[in-house]
Amino acid sequence: MYACELNVGAAGFEATVATAGNAVTRVSAIVRIEANLEPGPGTLVFLTWIATIPYSGDQASVTEIASWVTGHVQARTSAAATIGRYIYTLEASVPGTLYLTVEGDGKRWPA
């Protein structure tokens, strides 16, 4: 597993990549903010960027995924969806923490 963390002021951003052999199996992101704050633009950019990695060359899918992430983050709701070959899980209902995972089907990633 590979991980990268960045702290900016009171916000923390973390991305992890899990692999099996030469294949990426899961990408995840965690954003930590003060519990009394709403997620800002940087949070949406980061989560959307992580979520769209598998479809970076497919603008229609990027738009769909970005809309899905943005809608649930702004509504502070949790959700799961299968988009193409990937399973997306977003936990956005807990104050102070947002957690996103994108899991593949074990084949070459991105598709």
Asked if residue 59 has pLDDT above 70, the reply is yes
Query: Would you state the pLDDT for residue 24?
Result: 81
- Is the pTM for the entire model greater than 0.85? yes
Q: What is the arrangement of strands in the sheet containing 79-83, beginning at the earlier edge strand?
A: 2-8, 11-20, 23-32, 97-103, 86-91, 79-83
Query: Distance (Å, rounded) from C-alpha 79 to C-alpha 73?
Result: 10
Give 60-98 pLDDT, tens digit per residue: 999 999 999 999 999 999 999 998 889 999 999 999 999
pLDDT of residue 37: 86
**Can you give the residue ranges of every domain in the chain?**
2-103
Q: How confident is the model at residue 56 (pLDDT cuts 50, 70, 90)?
A: confident
Euclidean distance between CA atoms 58 and 34, whole angstroms: 34
